[in-house]
Chains A and B, each alone.
Chain A
């Protein structure tokens, strides 16, 4: 079904069940934060896990998504789904331009270029009048869905966020299992060989980049509507560091890894917030530990243990 293996299908059903049941136990705003970051991490993982491209500037698309959705909902008074769509399209447009520039270089240079371009976006957001500078865009109202269904209660918007996340998740899975996705994996494994088979690898990388930034924008837009705020934190490189860490902890190149990673990291931040700057130190330690001894991540290790592809 949907190209899932049996283990993946079981995992998916389990995940959907958890999403439905969790708000009965856990605070919905926390869960929405997890889901937004999970979608963001899945979008990032689409590039690093399946194309082998390490972007170091995904916060730019996420953050611009936040700003655009907040602006659309607050100033233009657009409905929820249109605000989120506008955020995704902004991410995609920015990704088209930046991806076109960045895929000229491979490997480590690609990472540095995407980081530098993202820093440019950060400075733009710092100065541009519409972002509100240091204050950000605050008190964004939650617009009604399709202009009719109110999202004022946390549970109402929770179902929207869950729906957006699941659609994005399935889209990524569909991309990865499609013939297009097979070519992406071929490029990751051996790019010269993929070129010699007649694939225009740069075009494939570019399209994958745009798809990834589109979903990062969607994730950002959803987050802006949930929290009613868009700030400079969302475009800062440290935000990108968090999403890299989520994917790494969960397992790069796995289907469920980024979701699990987002859950672990968001929970860690929530419960350790009282320790202030120690959170950064702990994130650094987790980074170092994962790179040295835990490169497959939680889901990767689990999959290896069960000999299944998760």
Chain B
């Protein structure tokens, strides 16, 4: 058996792909955080909860018969609506990839309109506190409705088999997650860096008042940016649904690590947060092979080192 530094090669490959997958989620989530922070100057603590919401909405669309009541009496009224859905009817994975980000993104737009846009004149810290409260509400509601244990979400049939790469067999779904996440990240980067909408967005990030003076509706731009960032989180949630069990705590576990990723990368650059996300996923995977005890904390340790050497973050501007 081939070994590298005393570890079997297959184990190394296996953990590296797992690391890449985690990295894909770090990249998608930190990208959304960075886009929102750049435009709205708010750190969205609810990002993890919205990621979880994406996974749950996908699950609910797939199996409406599992949660819609047979006999629903709304608000205690004597209506007895029958919402029973036959087995086998529901929105499958592929359309969900598009529909769920739209639904959750629309939720994000409402959230920005109702709550967040009241905070722009205040200290940034209030934004963190408000979105923290939103995260508690979303998570608590999910826990009430579905309990703390996870729901399984089947891998779509087209991707259920393994791909033979010659040197290892890779589960097709995992390869798909990495490819899909990387493409969406790249697409976001292209939109922001190479299109007219993106240049307006970047200009508004630099100087919102001036852009508004040119006739751009900046408040609407902010709302849409928040919605887009939330949609990215929801997209990540749908991708994650077949890998992790869909459960109310899945978001908060991720989001704190993503915060560390954001501190390491610095929020100055879009490409930076993508590279940092994937890179740290790989670092985490390697740690699982060579020193498994530290795998949960390695990203935080990297954060400490980066803070000591380059406090502004790898890609940040001082």
Contacts and interface: CB of A to CB of B under 8 A. Distances in A.
A58 B39 CA distance: 29
Contacts of A248: 129
B256 A119 contact: yes
B144 A278 contact: yes
Contact of A292 (B115, B132, B135, B252): B115
Nearest to B137: A284
A292 B118 contact: yes
Interface string B280-318: 000000000000010011001101100110010000000
Nearest to A275: B144
B102 interface: no
B72 interface: no
A288 B141 contact: no
Most B CB atoms within 10 A — which of A119, A286, A291?
A: A291
B307 A112 contact: no
Task: Please classify how large the interface on chain B is, using the bins under 10, 10 to 19, 20 to 34, 35 or more.
Answer: 35 or more
A279 B144 CA distance: 10
A112 B126 CA distance: 14
B133 A285 contact: yes
A127 interface: yes
A54 B125 contact: yes
A252 B217 CA distance: 35
Contacts of B37: 108
B130 interface: yes
A157 to B, nearest CB: 32
B134 A288 contact: yes
* Secondary structure call for the A interface: helix
A117 B43 contact: no
Main SS class of interface, B: helix
A149 B256 CA distance: 44
User: Interface centre among A111, A112, A276, by most B CB within 10 Å?
Assistant: A112
Contact of B133 (A112, A127, A284): A284
A14 interface: no
Contact of B144 (A54, A281, A292): A281
Interface in A66-118: 101, 104-105, 107-109, 111-113, 115-117
B140 A237 contact: no
Contact of A291 (B126, B144, B293, B304): B126
Interface stretch (B50-58, B83-91, B258-266): B258-266
Given A117-B300, A120-B300, A105 B132 contact: no
A116 B293 contact: no
A146 interface: no
B144 A104 contact: no
A281 B303 contact: no
Contacts of A116: 256-257, 259-260, 263, 300, 303
Contacts of A109: 263
Contact of A284 (B119, B135, B257, B263): B135
B15 to A, nearest CB: 18
B143 A113 contact: no
B140 A284 contact: yes
A113 B129 contact: no
Interface in A44-65: 48, 54, 56
17 contacts: A104-B307, A111-B43, A113-B263, A115-B256, A116-B300, A117-B300, A119-B260, A119-B300, A120-B300, A277-B144, A280-B143, A284-B134, A285-B133, A285-B137, A286-B133, A288-B130, A291-B119
